[in-house]
Amino acid sequence: MSTVLYNRVALIGLGLIAGSMSLAMRRAGVAGEITGFARSQATRNTAAEIHLVDRVCDSPIEAVKDADLIVLAVPVGAMGAVMAEIEHVLKPGAVVTDVGSVKKSVLEAVLPHTPEGVHFIGTHPMAGTEHSGPRSGFAELFDNRWCLIVPPEGADEAEVEKLERFWRALGSNVERMDPEHHDIVCAVVSHVPHLIAYTMVGVADDLRRVTDQEVIKFSAAGFRDFTRIAASDPTMWRDVFMTNKEASLEILGRFTEELFALQRAIRTGDGDHLHDYFTRTRAIRRGIIEAGQDTDAPDFGRAKKGT
């Protein structure tokens, strides 16, 4: 039997994550009313047309009025400004959360604008596709995916536990992390892989001996699936790297060292090194599949999502 956890939930931003949250909340029956706001009038119009939320609002202040849970689903670089805009109308006892993939800088930006009696608790659903916009959401996005819960120091334990129940109801597994560890983990598993994918597309574009049509026509699974994430929202990823500099640069440094070692192995014909390296990394990939975080299907099981 469904239990309403928050009588009113306000979504600030109405893209893939917020839209999927709205649909998952309806499926789980954990929200009384869902309001929503997006800066773009076109996005608000689309959200209203497809009934993505119960009520589309014309301002963030209208959306968060009397809300028990406020979700900041905007690029991480914009969260401080949004919080500054809404702080004076937040309901005492309300919980504000975000769904960004960087946490240390977000906490630094939003906590000064969090009124006494309002709880800010960071979250990061480790789920997504390369699609964006209000039509891209689907209720199953979070099923069996991880949502990282990143409470600031001194957070109210009861509210943290309630938010964990909320994410479990949406289908997620949950795990707590501190902000610094969160940012380094995400640099490894998400941020730098995206940067590498963007780079590979750029290399293919710059390599004049391979034409654009050849790249498009002859893309086999390796290039096609690896670069799929390079279609992701550029504003979001710009903000990720601008706000998670330290962790991203650390992992990029390690990646560069590994790449140089592989270059040396290829140059010197060190087949043993290459075989050992590929064997170890294949085992990690198999572990991802066995953990239920992906499939071994050729298209990674995503072809029918949002296409």
Domains, the chain, in order of start with CATH, read 6-177 (3.40.50.720), 181-268 (1.10.3660.10)
Among 123, 111, 103, which residue's Cα sits nearest to residue 246? 103
pLDDT over 80 (residue 212): no
Per-residue DSSP letters for the chain?
A: ----SEEEEEEES-SHHHHHHHHHHHHHT-EEEEEEE-S-HHHHHHHHHTT-SSEE-SSHHHHHTT-SEEEE-S-GGGHHHHHHHHGGGPPTT-EEEE--S--HHHHHHHGGG--TT-EE-EEEE----S--SGGG--GGGGTT-EEEEEPPTT--HHHHHHHHHHHHHTT-EEEE--HHHHHHHHIIIIIHHHHHHHHHHHHHHH-TTS-HHHHHHS--HHHHHHTGGGGS-HHHHHHHHHHSHHHHHHHHHHHHHHHHHHHHHHHHT-HHHHHHHHHHHHHHHHHHHHTTSS--STTTT-TTS--
Label residue 39 left, alpha or beta by phi (over 0 means left) and psi (-120 to 50 means alpha). Answer: alpha
Which of 140-149, 205-214, 267-276 has the weakest average pLDDT?
205-214
- Band (24; pLDDT cuts 50, 70, 90): very high
Measured distance CA(155)–CA(120) in Å, rounded: 8
Average pLDDT, rounded, for the chain? 86
Look at residue 43 and tell me whether its pLDDT is greater than 90: yes
72 closest CA partner among 131, 23, 114:
114
Q: Which two tokens stand for residue 21?
A: 């949250």
Spatial separation of the C-alpha atoms in residues 125 and 110, rounded to whole Å: 19
Of 13-17, 147-151, 258-262, which range is least confident? 258-262
Give pLDDT tens digits for 126-146.
Answer: 988 778 899 999 999 999 999
Q: What angle do CA 142, 102, 26 make, to 5 degrees?
A: 25
* Residue 299 reports pLDDT greater than 60: no
- The tens digit of pLDDT for each residue in 71-83 reads 999 999 999 999 9
3 Cβ contact list (under 8 Å, min separation 6):
29, 30
Which residues are CB-neighbours of 26 under 8 A, at least 6 positions away? 34, 139
What gap in Å lies between CA 237 and CA 211, rounded to an integer? 27
Confidence category of residue 262, pLDDT binned at 50, 70, 90? confident
